[in-house]
Structure 1
Amino acid sequence: MAKITKFNQSDVEIVAKKRTFNGFFKIDEYHFRHALFAGGQSEIVVREIFERGDAVAVLPYDPKLDAVLLIEQIRIGALSDKKSPWLLEVIAGMTDGSNDYESVVKKEAKEESGIELSNLEFMLSYLSSPGGTSERLYLYYAEADLSQAGGLFGVPDEGEDIKVHVLPVKQAFQLLDEGEMDNAATVICLQWLKLNIEAIREKYHTC
């Protein structure tokens, strides 16, 4: 078995840290040294880190319909990369420092789709892009009655314009396989559902 080096925070020396941008998002500049795999210390490394806080995301599933709810909204970061910057995504939002992730998930679901969630189950958490941001996402599966779901939602004061889509699981998986779902939280949530859907269906005797 390969030996994995175990460094931790004590192997990093922060020489200096300063905030270089302080708007809706924040950017901190770090000057640091760190332990080297070959032994000794590195020279001073300078990196900018995007500080946007942590976030939660949730994939709602209706066991009676065998369907999931996804939302569509514009993402300006996809403007030059996609044929359209309007993306299908799971419900998500920033935690704003709260550790009560389930409450944040329920609030975001209400704001972005008008639905009530039940039977929340934690999937996993991950660092979104640790080379450039400290953000960690917490992903959840939840159940909901999607029979009346649909329409337009969002918080106008936050620049949100959201359309709700209810998709049969089979269609959602097909879009995933075709590469239409290509933002990390949505891909991971749907892959998790793929791995667990048969057990979930068995639980509810869903065909």
Structure 2
Amino acid sequence: MRHTVREKDIIFREFFKIERARVQWEQFDGSMGEEQTRYVVRRGDSVGIIPVCEKTGKIVLIQQFRYAAAGKGTDGYLWEIPAGMIGKGEQPVFTARRELLEEIGFETEEITPLISFFLSPGALDERFYLYIASIPDCATLDRFGGNRHEQEDIRIKAFPLERILRMMKESQIADGKTIASLLYYMILEGEG
């Protein structure tokens, strides 16, 4: 399958870019489709980490305010897995370790890649890399964290898998990357 980009330009540039392009792509019958205008949000790739407590099997989640979700059936305070954007020239595994330290205050070498996927490829170019990290002791995790330099204000809490599943069913966990990541983890663990 092939595609052709006729022209493209950046129509917005701040924290992310919005690209407008004239694109034509091969149809499943082998013909070329009509030229279309498409928009892509270019913001770079990201990582997410499922921190698992070694002693209890609990999963560490963070809660923070997300302006884009406020007023959309939530107050904007979402439970999520720790996650962050991959810096320029940075390897995803390095970003995962950095985000784990910044958001929940843990350093670990025991971090394993699980899967990567596109978050919303209809308009977003972001590839998401999911990792699992082993956390030795989660007893002190009911606290607050985040990188103050980035104005992060984060609540940290460990939950058993049964509670996480209930939170998802009751829409207390409403972040898509977190839901997809946790369900994938539960399937791997035979819990889903």
2:87–2:95: 8 Å Cα contact kept in structure 1? no
Amino acid at match of 2:17: K
Distance 2:27 2:189 in 1: 44
Where 2:189 maps in the other structure, the secondary structure is: helix
Specify the alignment match of 1:184 in structure 2. Answer: 176
CA displacement at 1:102 relative to structure 2? 1.5
Shift of residue 146 of structure 1?
1.4
Q: Distance in 2 between matches of 1:177 and 1:83?
A: 15
Superposition deviation, residue 118 in structure 1 = 4.2
Counterpart amino acid of residue 54 in structure 2? P
Which residue of 2 is the match for residue 35 of structure 1?
26
1:149 to 138, 141, 150: 141
TM-score, length of structure 1 as denominator length? 0.84
List runs of 5+ in structure 1 lacking aligned partners.
Answer: 1-6, 200-207
Q: Which residue of 2 aligns with 1:20?
A: 11
Question: What does residue range 46-85 of structure 1 map to in structure 2 within 5 Å?
Answer: 46-85=37-76
Q: Find the counterpart in structure 2 of residue 126 from structure 1.
A: 117
Partner SS for 2:110: strand
Larger radius of gyration: 1
Q: CA RMSD in A?
A: 1.8
SS of equivalent to 2:78: strand
Partner SS for 1:81:
coil
- After TM superposition, the score normalised by the length of structure 2 is 0.90
Q: For the structure 1 residues 53 and 183, does the alpha-carbon distance in structure 2 shift closer, same or farther, using more than 3 Å as the test?
A: same
Q: Which amino acid is 2:8 matched to?
A: K
Aligned-residue offset at 1:22: 1.0
Provide, for residues 89-112 of structure 1, a one-character-per-residue CA deviation record: whole Å limited to 9, x for no partner.
000000023452111111001111
Matched, 1:164 2:156: yes
> In the aligned structure 2, how far is the partner of 1:189 from the partner of 1:133?
18
String of CA shifts for 1:100-147, please: whole Å, max 9, x gaps: 211111100111111123422222111111110110100111110212
* Residues 198 and 17 of structure 1, relative CA distance in 2, 3 Å threshold: closer
Matched, 1:86 2:85: no
Corresponding residue of 2:165: 173
Instruction: Quote the residue 1:110 is aligned against.
Output: 101
When structure 1 is superposed on structure 2, of 155-164 and 189-198 the one drifting more is 189-198
Contact kept, 8 Å, 2:42 with 2:125, in 1: the verdict is yes
In structure 2, the gaps of 5 or more residues are: none
Within 1, Cα distance between the matches of 2:190 and 2:55?
14
Higher mean C-alpha displacement, 29-38 vs 137-146: 29-38
Contact 1:27 / 1:48 at 8 angstroms: preserved in 2?
Answer: yes
